[in-house]
């Protein structure tokens, strides 16, 4: 990876500035995938505690791998629990992605759990995030409050009734529109279907009106271009095991018999 790649510590600033950012989900409990993704220049990875078997020990090492390979390690926590958010941030995560945010009150709760000075995050600087005590009280608060990313997942039909209030919650850095859950709730055929986009479109419009950054999971470049036109600036594609499956299928196809 080029030494010119921005530091993972700048991820929040880059997200808010609407830089073009690329990320993926990491679901396997190993450091290797994260190291590879960081080495080739991904801007961020999302460690998926909601849908993958990532225990505290594995996640701790994966966060360390993200920092070592200069990729922002965001954790999708399984729920809006302040204690879970505090633990992953103390371990050195660059931020959190919180699922099923359906109203402004819940959005404010997760923002508070991420912030020291304007929130209620429990203090500890004797952690990886605080340099194991090397960072002073004030410096640690300042650094964490300026660097930590707080992202809300909008993936429930219920959230549409409150989206204008959610995207205006002070301290919320971005929303991630969960088209997978929305598609399932609508019983639509795919996350790029007209039915799903009829719901996702107004969410993106509300975010654009409130000047709120949007992160989207996109299946291909054409969809990413469409989402960029609607206001998305950060994009996720596939996952570590998705990449492995795609490469494995391609290898099987390339070497299928006959070889003569």
pLDDT tens, position by position, 225-245 = 999 999 999 999 999 999 999
Q: Is residue 48 part of a domain?
A: yes
The answer to whether residue 259 is domain-embedded is no
- Average pLDDT for 86-112: 98
Q: Give me the catalytic one of 5, 20, 32, 51.
A: 51
Residue 3 has pLDDT above 90, yes or no: no
- Whether residue 2 is contained in a domain is answered as no
Kindly state the average pLDDT of the residues 60-88. Answer: 97
Active site residue 241: no
Q: Is residue 59 part of a domain?
A: yes
Mean pLDDT of the chain: 96
Average pLDDT rounded to a whole number, residues 132-155: 96
pLDDT at 4: 82
Q: Is the pLDDT of residue 142 over 90?
A: yes
Looking at the structure of the chain, the number of domains it has is 1
Residue 118 CB coordination number (10 Å): 12
Q: How far apart are CA 251 and CA 169, in angstroms?
A: 47
- The Cα–Cα gap between 103 and 86 comes to 21
Q: Tell me the mean pLDDT in the region 129-156.
A: 96
Residue 1 pLDDT class (50, 70, 90 cuts): very low
pLDDT at 260: 81
User: Looking at the chain, how many residues does it have?
Assistant: 260
Containing structural domain, residue 232: 8-254
């Amino acid at each position: 990876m080029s030494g010119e790649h921005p530091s993972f510590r700048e991820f929040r600033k880059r997200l808010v500035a609407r830089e073009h950012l690329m990320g993926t989900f990491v679901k396997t409990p190993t450091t290797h995938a994260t190291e590879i993704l960081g080495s080739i220049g991904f801007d961020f990875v999302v460690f998926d505690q909601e849908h993958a078997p990532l225990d505290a020990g594995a996640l701790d090492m994966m966060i360390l791998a993200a920092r070592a390979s200069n990729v922002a390690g965001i954790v999708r926590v399984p729920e809006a629990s302040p204690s879970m958010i505090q633990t992953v941030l103390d371990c050195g995560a660059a931020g959190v992605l919180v699922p099923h945010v359906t109203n402004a009150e819940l959005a404010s709760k997760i923002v508070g759990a991420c912030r020291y000075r304007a929130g209620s995050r429990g203090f500890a600087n004797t952690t990886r995030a605080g340099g194991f005590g090397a960072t002073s009280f004030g410096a640690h608060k300042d650094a964490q409050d300026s660097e930590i990313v707080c992202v809300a997942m909008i993936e429930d039909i219920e959230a549409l009734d409150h989206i204008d209030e959610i995207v205006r919650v002070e301290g919320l850095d971005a929303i991630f529109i969960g088209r997978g859950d929305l598609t399932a709730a609508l019983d639509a055929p795919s996350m790029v279907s007209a039915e799903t986009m009829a719901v996702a479109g107004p969410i993106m419009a509300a975010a654009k009106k409130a000047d709120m950054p949007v992160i989207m999971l996109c299946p291909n470049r054409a969809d990413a271009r469409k989402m960029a036109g609607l206001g998305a600036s950060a994009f996720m594609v596939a996952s570590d095991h998705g990449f492995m499956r795609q490469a494995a299928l391609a290898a099987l196809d390339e070497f299928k018999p006959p070889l003569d």
